Structure 1
Amino acid sequence: MATLLNELLHDATQRADDIVNSLEAITTSGAEVEAYRDKMKRLATQARDFIARLLRDPDIDDPNYAGNYFRDYCHITRLLREIEYFSLLVLKRFNESDQRATDLVSAICRESGYPYPAPLCSAISSQYFWTIPDMDLVFMPCLEPDHVLSLPDIYHELGHFLLFRDEKRLVQPAQLIVDRHYEKMVENGKRLNWADASLELVEQYHHSWRGAWLLEFASDLIATYLIGPSFGWCNIRVATNLGGELFLGTDSHPADDARATAIGMMLTEIGFDETRQSIQKRWSELVSLAMETPPSRYDLAYPNELLRELTQFFRQECENIGLSRFETGADGRPVANMVHDCWTQFRTDPESYVKFERSQLEEVVSTIRA
C-alpha cells in the first residue's frame, strides 16, 4: 500500500501535467504574453520533473527521510498552486483589455528605467491594484485600462517589484533606519519616564513598520520619484474612493495622512515643492470634509524625522539604480507625460476631461504599439 507522501506526490504529478497541458493549449498574440506563458510552462515542467525524481528515489519510503521529502512536496505544490490560481487564470482569460494594460505597463517600465522584465498585467482585480511579485503579475480593476487618473498606482506596484527583487539593497538598509529611530525613541521615552502604555505603543508601531508599513511607504516614495505630482493627486483620489479613516493605519497599510506627508516630502526632494503645497491644500480640504483629527500620540506612529530620512534614502537609491526621475515634458516618456497632462486637465476643467482623456489615451496606446 502506498504511503500518504507517495499518494500526495502522484496527485501533484497529475496537477502539474494538467497545468503544463493547459499552458500548451493557450494561443497568444503578444510577445510579452507568449514569453510569460513559456516561462510558466518551464516552471511547471520543472516542478513535474522534480516530483518524478522524488518518486523514483529509493529512499522515498524511508520514514527517516519522510520529513525532508514532505518539505520538498510543500514547496513544489505552493509553486503549482500559484501558477494555477494566478498565472494560468490570467492567461486563459487574457483579452484586449489585459493586452492594453500590459502594453501600458511595459511602456512605463521602459521609460522609467525599470531594470527587470516588465510584469504581465490583468484587468480582473476586485481589490483595486495589487501584485504578486514572484509571479511577475500586476492586477487592476476591469475598467482601468481605458482610463488614466489611476495609472500612477502602477508606479506604486512597480515599487513593490523593486523591493522584492532588491531586498538587500532597498529593504534591509531602510529597515535599519526604522530600527534606529524606534530604538532611540524607546531610549528617550525611558529617560523621560514615559508610562508603560506609551512605551508599549512605541513597540507596537515599530512592529508595524517592520511588517507592511515600510513596504507601502517605500513604494509610495518610488512611485512619486517616477511619476511626480500625479501620484500626489492620485493618492487623494484613492483615499476618497477606497474609504477608511485618514489617520488610522491597519496591519497592511499605514494611515493615508502619513502617506500623503511622505509623498509630499519626495515631491520637495525632486523639485516640485510648489506643487506639493497645492496638493497639501487639497489634502487639508479632504481632512476638513471628513471631519477627522489625528489620534493621540500620532507622532509616535509616523515620526517626521523618520519619514524624511526614508525619503532621502529612497531618492538616492532610485538615482543609483538608474530610475528616471519625473520631469515635466521630458522626452521619451509618453506615458508619464500623458498621466501628468491628464491630471492637469482634470484639475483645470473636470467637465471636459472625459473627451480629453480618451483622445490622449488612444494616441499614446497607438504610439507604444507602433
Structure 2
Amino acid sequence: MLEYIDGAILEAIEKARTLKTKIPGAANLFPDFEALVVKAETEIDSLIGYLMHIYESTDYQNPDNLRQKILQYQRIVGSLSILENVVIAAIARSHKDDEYVNRLVRAICREINYPLQKPIASCLSQKYYHIYPDYGLLCIPLLEADFLLHIADIYHELVHPLIELDNPKLERFKQELGSFNVIVKQFFGKEIERVERNSSRKDFIDMLHLWSDCWIEKWSVEFFCDLFGLYTLGPAYAWSNYHLCVKISTDVFETPLFAVTSHPPDDARMQVLFHALELMGYGVERQKIGLKWNEYINIMQFKKHAEYAYAVPDTLLEQIAVSAFEATKTISCHIATEGEQGAISKMLNDAWLEFWKEPVAFPEWERKTVKKFKSSLVAQHN
C-alpha cells in the first residue's frame, strides 16, 4: 500500500503541473479573470508543495503513519478537483457572456453598496447558481446571461462571502446571525425539555435535536441569503423564488426526519420572504405573491406533514426576517424601496410586472430589454 500511495501522489503532482498548462495566456484572458489566475496558480503550487512533503517526509514513510498519509492525499486531491473542474475550467472557458455577467455583477454590487470586492462571475455552473467564497468565483448557469427572471439569485450568492470570509467590516453582520442561532438553540432546548416532561417519544426528541442542528448548521445561512436578496432587490426576489420552486419542487413541505439538510423546506423559504415583505412595507406585493403561492400548493395538492410546524415554527421565521434586516443594515447595504430603485433593481422588478401583465408576450419584451441593458453596460464600460 505504501508503494501504491507514493505512485498516486506522484501522479497527482504531474496532474497539478499539467493543470497549470490549461490556463490561457494574457492575450486570451478577460481582464476580470486575471486575479483568479494568480490565486489559482498560487494554490496549485501550494498543493504541489504539500504533495511533495507527504511523498518525501520520513515521517510519512513510516507504515504506522500510512492512514494519515492517505487522508492528507485525499484532502489535497479534493482541493485539486475543485481547481480543475471549477476554477480552471471557468478560466479556460471564459468568453463574451462572462464579460457581460461580470459587468452585471459589478453593477449590482455598486447599486446595493456591497461591502466586499465583487466576485468574478462565470457562466459555467455545474449546480445552478453557486459561489466559491475562497476563490471569489460566482458560477451561474450558461443561459442566464440572456434572461432576467432568475438573475435575483446573484443577490443570494453574494451573502455567502459575507458569512464565510474573515473581514472586520462583516463582524456585526455575523453577530446578528450568531445571535439568531442562539435564539434557535434556546427555542429548541425549551421544546425538548417540554417533550421530555410530557412524553416518552424518544423519536420526536431526536427530531427536535435534528431540526435544531438543521437551523444552526445550514438553514439560518440560507434564510439570511434569501432575505438579503429580498431586502436589496425587492419583490422580484420573492417572485424569482416562487418561479424556481414551481420548476423544481417535488414537495414544498418536505421535512427532514433523519439527517441535516442543506436547505430549509421551500414553503418555509417563501413564508420568511412574506414576513420580510411586510417589514419592508410591501404588503400589497406580499398578498399577490401569497395568492399565487397558495394556488400552486393547491393545484399540486401538497400537504403539510405532521412534523412541519415543529421543524419550521413561525416564531423563528418571523425572528430571522428581523435579524437579517438588521444584519443588512449593519453593513450599510441599500435597502430596496418602491420609490428609490437602481437601474438593475428596476429592470428586474419591472420584468415580473411585465410577465404577469401578459406572460405570452413576455419573451419578446425580455429579449429587447436584455439587449438594451447589455448595450448600456458596454457604453458605461467604454
* TM beyond 0.5: yes
- C-alpha change, 1:329 and 1:275, in structure 2 (3 Å) is same
Q: What SS class does the counterpart of residue 334 from structure 2 fall into?
A: coil
2:363 paired with 1:354: yes
Q: Which range moved further: 46-55 or 245-254?
A: 46-55
Find the counterpart in structure 2 of residue 160 from structure 1.
160
Structure 2 stretches of 5 or more lacking a match? Answer: none
How far 1:177 sits from its partner (Å)? 2.2
Letter in 2 for 1:210: I
TM-score, normalising length from structure 2? 0.85
- AA matched with 2:104: L
Give 1:51 shift: 4.1
Deviates more, 1:50-59 or 1:117-126: 50-59
Higher mean alpha-carbon deviation, 231-240 vs 287-296, is at 287-296
| Structure 1: runs of 5 or more not aligned | none
Please state if 1:132 is matched with 2:129.
no
2:269 is matched with 259
> Which among 303, 307, 310 is matched to residue 300 of structure 1?
310
Answering whether residue 69 of structure 2 is matched by residue 80 of structure 1, we say no
Q: Following the alignment from structure 2 to structure 1, what is the Cα–Cα distance between the partners of residues 52 and 207?
A: 52
C-alpha contact 1:105 1:121 (8 A) present in aligned 2: yes
Question: Residue in 2 aligned with 1:247?
Answer: 253
Residues 39, 135 of structure 2: 8 Å contact kept? no
- Give the structure 2 partner of residue 187 of structure 1: 193
**Aligned with 1:121: secondary structure?**
strand
Deviation digits for residues 291-337 of structure 1, max 9, x if unmatched?
Answer: 22312232101111111111111111111122221123536x32222
Query: Match for residue 372 of structure 2?
Result: 363
When structure 1 is superposed on structure 2, of 69-78 and 151-160 the one drifting more is 69-78
Evaluate the alpha carbon distance shift between residue 337 and residue 30 of structure 1 in structure 2; reply closer, same or farther with a 3 A threshold.
farther
**Secondary structure at the residue paired with 1:115?**
coil
| C-alpha contact (below 8 Å) 1:177/1:310 kept by paired residues | no
SS at structure 2 position matched to 1:143: helix
Aligned partner of 1:178 in structure 2 is 184
Residues 232 and 24 (structure 1), Cα distance of their counterparts in 2 relative to 1, 3 Å cut: closer
Instruction: Give, in whole Å, the separation in 2 of the partners of 1:129 and 1:111.
Output: 20
Q: Distance in 2 between matches of 1:180 and 1:64?
A: 45
Alignment of 1:18-29 (within 5 A): 18-25=18-25, 27-29=27-29
Secondary structure at the aligned position of 2:262 is classed as coil
The one of 293, 305, 309 equivalent to 2:319 is: 309
- The answer for the alignment partner of 2:41 in structure 1 is 41
Q: Is contact 1:9-1:73 (8 Å) kept?
A: yes
Q: Secondary structure at the residue paired with 2:148?
A: coil
Q: How many equivalent pairs are there?
A: 369
Per the alignment, residue 288 of structure 2 pairs with: 278
CA drift of 1:185 comes to: 1.4
What does residue 346 of structure 2 align with?
A: 337
Question: How far apart in 2 are the matches of 1:64 and 1:189?
Answer: 48
User: Could you tell me the TM-score, scaled by structure 1's length?
Assistant: 0.88
Q: 87-96 vs 358-367, which deviates more?
A: 358-367
Q: Which amino acid aligns with 1:219?
A: C
Q: CA RMSD in A?
A: 2.8
Kept in 2, the 8 Å contact 1:112–1:323? The answer is yes
